[in-house]
Amino acid sequence: MKVLITGGAGFIGSHVVDECIEHNYEVVVVDNFSAGNSRNLPEDCKVYCVDINEAHLKNVFEEEKPDYVIHLAAQASVMKSFEDPIQDGLTNIIGTLKVLEYARLHCVKKVVIASSAAVYGNPQVLPVDEKFPLNPLSFYSLSKWSGERYAQLYESLYDLPSCILRFSNVYGPRQNALGEAGVVSIFINQLLNAEEMVIYGGHQTRDFIYVKDVAQACRTAMESTKTGIFNISSCSETTINELFAMTSLLAGITAEPQKYPLRQGEIEKSFLGNEKAINELGWQATHSLEEGLSETIVTYNASK
């Protein structure tokens, strides 16, 4: 079976590539390398350096005839979505639409779409489950939600099965410090390089999920007969202060970060219920935060 992975050279995508290869899938990557890096990919991986908005995407589908698509390519920065909402919409809405349309035309068996906890906005009730009302607070979260709705409509109009996965804060090896959950890679980089450290707030909570668990969720969702929306999370809350303390302990480096007030607009508390993914997809995170952080620190140390 052949899987086309968009955004496969990126942080999460490259782990999805590894996961699919480990499970004996033939893998084809489509990436425009705006944020991805070929060093993230195995040497023999087939890669198309193509933008999902380019007409050439059609030829890739025609040539490769993939059985499955895992769509991770995105403008993945909340900050950039404020700076350039048009580019954000072009990539995350129109790009997703093109991927879905070619998947339909080429009778793809299933599409897995990467979405985000950001679609929930500032949650009033915790943990947030999939039925929680959506309230996008950035152009990024709005464009991710649009991608979800297109996928749902393609499923209801054209029987194109899809799983929409709303990831919480993903962390792990190969993460770019500019990503959504950049705080883990920022802390590790700063600690290992003895840089000055700053924490804004500190009591705000996040739901950190290890990237290898996310990659497994993508493959499991692709193989499942179930369709629909699923939170992919650890369903546990960690404060930024706790995260810092654990990272510094595991790295064996002590530091005294400067403390500043929480930045305006930052969500105070966030964690996602993951029961639906556990019960319906049979997926469960297998890495504790401590295990995931330890593995991440080892890889950062090795690449120094």
Ligand X SMILES: NC(=O)c1ccc[n+]([C@@H]2O[C@H](COP(=O)([O-])OP(=O)(O)OC[C@H]3O[C@@H](n4cnc5c(N)ncnc54)[C@H](O)[C@@H]3O)[C@@H](O)[C@H]2O)c1
Q: Which residues contact ligand X (rule: CB under 6 A)?
A: 7, 9-13, 30-36, 51-53, 72-76, 91, 95, 114, 116, 144, 167, 169-170, 176, 179-181
Instruction: Give the Å distances, CA to CA, from 288 to 43, 112, 151, 303.
Output: 30, 25, 32, 23
Rounded distance between C-alpha atoms, residue 112 and residue 74, angstroms: 14
The distance of closest approach from Cβ of residue 254 to ligand X in the complex, given in angstroms and rounded to an integer, is 27
- What is the distance in angstroms between the CA of the first residue and the CA of the last residue of the chain? 37
Q: Which is nearer to ligand X, 253 or 267 (CB)?
A: 267
Q: Which is nearer to ligand X, 24 or 303 (CB)?
A: 303
Q: Which is nearer to ligand X, 51 or 155 (CB)?
A: 51
The distance of closest approach from Cβ of residue 49 to ligand X in the complex, given in angstroms and rounded to an integer, is 9
Q: Which is nearer to ligand X, 43 or 196 (CB)?
A: 43
What is the phi/psi pair of residue 30, to 5°? -120, 120
Q: Which amino acid is at 288?
A: S
The distance of closest approach from Cβ of residue 303 to ligand X in the complex, given in angstroms and rounded to an integer, is 16
Tokens of 154: 């393609």
Tokens of 67: 């059985």
Burial label, 39 (beta-carbon count in 10 A; 0-12, 13-18, 19+):
exposed
Is 140 among the catalytic positions?
yes
The distance of closest approach from Cβ of residue 194 to ligand X in the complex, given in angstroms and rounded to an integer, is 26
Which residue among the candidates 48, 102, 120, 140 is catalytic per the annotation?
140
Measured CA angle at 147 (ends 75, 93), to 5 deg: 55
Residues counted in the chain: 304
Q: Which is nearer to ligand X, 32 or 227 (CB)?
A: 32
Structural element, H or E, at residue 264:
none
Residue 127: helix, strand or coil by DSSP? Answer: coil
Q: Which residues contact 48 (CB under 8 A, 6 or more apart)?
A: 28, 29, 30, 31, 56, 60
Provide the annotated active-site residues: 140
